[in-house]
Amino acid sequence: MSAAPVPADAPESPYARIARDFAASPLALGALAAFALLLLAAVCAPLISPQNPYDLAQLDVLDSRLPPGSTGADGQTYWLGTDEQGRDVLSAIFYGLRISLGVGAISTLAALAIGVAAGLAAGYFGGRVEALLMRVVDLQLSFPAILVALILLALLGQGIGKTIAALVVVQWAYYARTVRGTALVERGKEYMEAARGLGLPASRIVFRHLLPNCLPPVIVVATVQVAAAIALEATLSYLGIGVPITEPSLGLLIKNGFDYMLSGKYWISFFPGLALVLVIVSINLVGDRLRDVLNPRLQR
């Protein structure tokens, strides 16, 4: 009998291997930890915020525009200062993170689902389906994302749901193009022929065999695109056409404080801006590492 090299350890799934490779980079681990903290702050915002920034009864106009670290009229400390309505900037950032991350995550997931489905259909079936889908993608990608989003929001109006819809429309094409490219490559591999040779139904071949093998590049694109979606939402909100003023995201918080930047009250814009930068940089660092780990050409 042939003596195949038998790995001594228990079978390691490809995902376990990816996790191990990922952890080899301290920078990426640090970025992941930072992102996890930010995510935790967003999820637990109602529990850890000193104040509910949406509750006007809790705001004291006398405390408006206090610098970081000052003590308010009721004796509480504003660690990051207050804005022009006397809102605690730290609490506003926690709640703003919620909106920003939520909008980014939901729009990315929705765009991912649509884009992956379109890309798989184009890559697997080919022919007219592919030609049609890919021309739509080309058309979509030939416009700047911000322009498409601006036009859509101008037509749809303001609101969180509408902002998400605009982000989905802007983003799905990236996923569709990525998945289609990978699907074309994977489709030609022998295990796909072998799966067909086994007499498996098409749906099973597409979802069980093709999809998992197309995922690595999509995961990389998705991490980068989450950051892009958050930045785009911040931009739209900064321009005043994104999320409504009653539920401020980070972009809107930056906008609110921007008028005071030149009068020395930097904290109203600066700290939300810092939070936004942290979110985007940490996600991008994680995404970069994932790309290194998942790219077969960079391995070995």
Partner 1 sequence: MTATLEVENLRTHFFTRAGVVKAVDGVSFAIGPGRILGLVGESGSGKTVTGFSIMGLVDPPGRVVEGRILLEGRDLATLDEDGWRAVRGRRVAMIFQDPMMTLNPVLRIDTQMVEAVLAHERVSREAALDRAREALVKVGIPSPDERLRAYPHQFSGGMRQRVAIAIALLHRPALIIADEPTTALDVTIQGQILAEMQALVREAGTSLLWITHDLAVVAGLADEVCVMYAGRAVEQGPVDAVLDAPLHPYTRGLIDSVPSRNRRGAPLAQIPGNTPSLLALPQGCAFRMRCARATETCLAEPPLYPTDDRRVRCFHPIHAEDEAWTG
Q: Footprint of partner 1 on this chain (CB under 8 A)?
A: 1-2, 4-5, 7, 11-14, 127, 189-191, 193-201, 204, 208-209, 212-213
Residue placing its CB nearer to partner 1 in the complex, 142 or 297: 297
- 222 CB contacts (<8 Å, ≥6 apart)? 108, 112, 175
Residue placing its CB nearer to partner 1 in the complex, 48 or 194: 194
CB of 159 vs partner 1, minimal distance in Å: 40
Compute the Cα dihedral for 224, 227, 233, 236 and give only its sign: negative
Residue placing its CB nearer to partner 1 in the complex, 43 or 215: 215
Residue placing its CB nearer to partner 1 in the complex, 26 or 127: 127
CB of 293 vs partner 1, minimal distance in Å: 15
Residue placing its CB nearer to partner 1 in the complex, 161 or 197: 197
Residue placing its CB nearer to partner 1 in the complex, 73 or 189: 189
Concatenated DSSP letters of 43-87:
HTHHHH-SS-TT-GGG--GGGTTPPTTEE-TTS-EETT-B-TT--
Compute the Cα dihedral for 235, 229, 165, 47 and give only its sign: negative
Residue placing its CB nearer to partner 1 in the complex, 14 or 69: 14
CB of 130 vs partner 1, minimal distance in Å: 13
How many Å separate Cα 252 from the centre of its chain?
A: 18
- 298 CB contacts (<8 Å, ≥6 apart)? 292
CB of 79 vs partner 1, minimal distance in Å: 47
Question: To which residue do tokens 């509408």 refer?
Answer: 162
Rounded CA separation 12/10 (Å): 6
CB of 137 vs partner 1, minimal distance in Å: 23
Instruction: Measure Cα distances from 46 to 36, 58, 67, 93, 223 in Å.
Output: 17, 14, 23, 12, 27
Q: Give CA angle at 220 (19, 146), nearest 5°.
A: 150
CB of 11 vs partner 1, minimal distance in Å: 4
CB of 215 vs partner 1, minimal distance in Å: 8
Residue placing its CB nearer to partner 1 in the complex, 18 or 114: 18
What tokens were used for 192?
């796909």
CB 58 within 8 A of CB 51: yes
CB of 182 vs partner 1, minimal distance in Å: 13
CB 40 within 8 A of CB 101: no
Q: Which residues pair with 27 in a beta bridge?
A: none
Question: To which residue do tokens 């739509």 refer?
Answer: 136
